[in-house]
């Protein structure tokens, strides 16, 4: 799917006791949300959990001409954020609090 582009990573945070809920909701991710992510140029998206701190580490590829900045305006994204707000840290807009992570090493 992707020609060119970049890999990015970021950190988010779930609330204590919410691992199972977070995992279950992602196991049942909405097809409309998946389509919106792909349409925005996102692929190869993985989220890892650091159990001790409950930090989520996300890694994704995004196309050179990605449209991630348009995702917050999509209704399905707003609905997903509301669906997830009770189990993770969010900001005043309802979006997950995201901390970008700089790339320090890469090996193909």
> What is the pTM for the complete model shown?
0.91
Q: Where are the domains of the chain?
A: 6-101
Positions marked active-site = 26
DSSP-assigned beta bridge partners for residue 46: 59
Q: Write out pLDDT tens, residues 7-56.
A: 999 999 999 999 999 999 999 999 999 999 999 999 999 999 999 999 99
CA–centroid distance for 8 within its chain: 11
* Residue 83 DSSP SS3: helix
Longest dimension (CA), the chain: 39
CB atoms < 10 A from the CB of 14, how many? 20
CATH 3.30.1460.30 fits 6-101, yes or no: no
Dump pLDDT digits (tens) for 43-98: 999 999 999 999 999 999 999 999 999 999 999 999 999 999 999 999 999 999 99
């Amino acid at each position: 799917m992707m020609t060119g582009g970049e890999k990015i990573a970021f950190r988010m945070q779930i609330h204590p006791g919410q691992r199972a809920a977070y995992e279950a909701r992602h196991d049942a991710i909405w097809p409309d949300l998946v389509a919106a992510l792909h349409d925005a140029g996102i692929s190869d998206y993985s989220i890892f959990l650091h159990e001790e701190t409950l930090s989520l580490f996300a890694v994704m590829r995004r196309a050179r001409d990605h449209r991630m900045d348009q995702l917050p305006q999509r209704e399905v994204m707003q609905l997903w954020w509301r669906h997830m707000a009770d189990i993770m840290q969010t900001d005043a807009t309802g979006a997950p609090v995201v901390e970008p992570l700089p790339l320090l090493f890469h090996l193909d």
